[in-house]
Amino acid sequence: GGQDVNGNEALHGGAARTSLSVHKNNLLFVLCWAASISSSTIQRHSECAMGLIFSRSLYGLPRQKYALEIFIDSAEVEAAIDPDIPIIDPHHHLWDARTQDKGWPISRFAINILYKLNPRLLVPLMHSGQDARVQKFVTKFMWPAVPYMDNEMLRDIENLPQSDQPLPHESERPAGRPRGHDVQGTVLVESGWDDPHAPSRAFMAVQEASVAKAVASRTGGRLCTGFIAHVPLTEGIDAVRPALKKLIDDCPNFVGIRHAMAHREGMFPLDGVPKLAYDEKFRSSFAALKELGLTFDTWLYHDQIHDLRDLALAFPDVTIICDHMAYPVGIPPYDRAKAFEEWKPLMKELAEVCPNVVVKLSGLGSVVLGFGFENRSVPPNSEELSDAWGPYIRHCIECFGVDRCMF
């Protein structure tokens, strides 16, 4: 039968012909499960029963697309600019709610059943169980619920529409579909594949290293060429150093860690603690990065750039990567134009006084900046993105120079 990118049995159209009686049993299970949830949830998602009845997989067809996939498919198909330039993608994530435990509001077993029957139902069910601020961050598309592993990423790289089917040979490329960029390697950044049974919090990321190694193996090293783990530096040097050494021993792709400094009161419930860069345990652990030759990634908001500056000055021998250009917060109630003007001199100073800091020209698609593209009926094209994002990208290149910027 067909298998998904994790080697799990999958109902891919034509790949696994399961009898209609089995499909009916699956349908009965989900309907019984749906009956067990609260009446208010059922009222919020009255389309659930009809969605199951009209599930394509019940009839041996490919699964239905997520709303996010439909949104992306509606975009204008554009040819890659300079497609022969070799590229290393320095920042991406991988996730799969079917196998990854991240505290979802419904069980992983139910997630797997719904994925096979009608994955579009996952979005409202998983979205409704989140804090309102999380709902705003993940948008109406609830992108963490949409599986994104090696097959999905390779399809994006190759400029192909999403499908559960294996990546086609270049000779089988759909007519009129231009090829993508020449991405020869990627860096996986911590994506929450934590092990809840790890001996300590510092060791929780060791499980994610196995995910990185598996994906690298399946793709011949094209994906997850490098791996940035999350090791909480606030655990202190005695806990952190052994965890870092374990990651180095277990995963040759491991090159550094990321610990978010982002904090703004009331902004995002998963934000860290204020003034993390000055925490005593955090700084004691930070010294281990220099000792072991590892890099430090972090994401933060623009009004915390001085904190990053002070950390970089205290550890001049550690390469620090400022992710997402230190998000200039433009989401309401904050003003995007005002945030941009505040952000510019802060980034200029950071570049001038901290030669050990480099910047990722990334994260501009996040709702945090306030562009609002996620609220449109169709995605923006490259020209629109260039007009909106260009001032941010050009300013970083002017401040840091091309040798200290990556995208």
Residue 77: how many CB atoms within 10 A of its CB? 11
Is position 344 within any domain? no
Distance (Å, whole) CA 346 – CA 302: 8
- For residues 327 and 363, is the Cβ–Cβ distance under 8 A? yes
Is position 141 within any domain? no
Is position 151 within any domain? no
Please give the torsion angle defined by the CA atoms of residues 7, 8, 14 and 20, in that order, rounded to the nearest 10 degrees.
160
Burial class (CB in 10 A: 0-12, 13-18, 19+), 296: buried
Is position 398 within any domain? no
Nearest Cα to Cα of residue 63 among 121, 108, 22? 121
Is position 61 within any domain? yes
Cβ partners under 8 Å of residue 385, min gap 6: 364
End-to-end CA distance of the chain: 39
* H/E segment holding residue 340: helix 336-353
Q: What is the pTM of this model?
A: 0.85
Structural domain of 55 = 1-72+96-129
Quick one: pLDDT at residue 243?
98
Is position 63 within any domain? yes
- For residues 366 and 320, is the Cβ–Cβ distance under 8 A? no
Q: Which residue has the tokens 């891919």?
A: 12
CA distances from 242 to 74, 122, 258, 318 (A): 48, 39, 17, 19
CA distances from 267 to 41, 364, 386 (A): 26, 17, 27
Quick one: pLDDT at residue 23?
42
Instruction: Name the token pair of 31.
Output: 């309907």
How many domains does the chain contain in total? Answer: 1
Is position 23 within any domain? yes
Is position 22 within any domain? yes
Determine the Cα angle at 341 with ends 336 and 346, to 5°.
120
Residue 162 Rama label (left phi>0; alpha psi -120 to 50; beta): beta
Q: Is 37 helix (H, G, I), strand (E, B) or coil?
A: coil
Residue ranges of the chain with pLDDT lower than 70? 1-60, 269-270
Quick one: pLDDT at residue 12?
29
Distance (Å, whole) CA 203 – CA 229: 10
* H/E segment holding residue 224: none
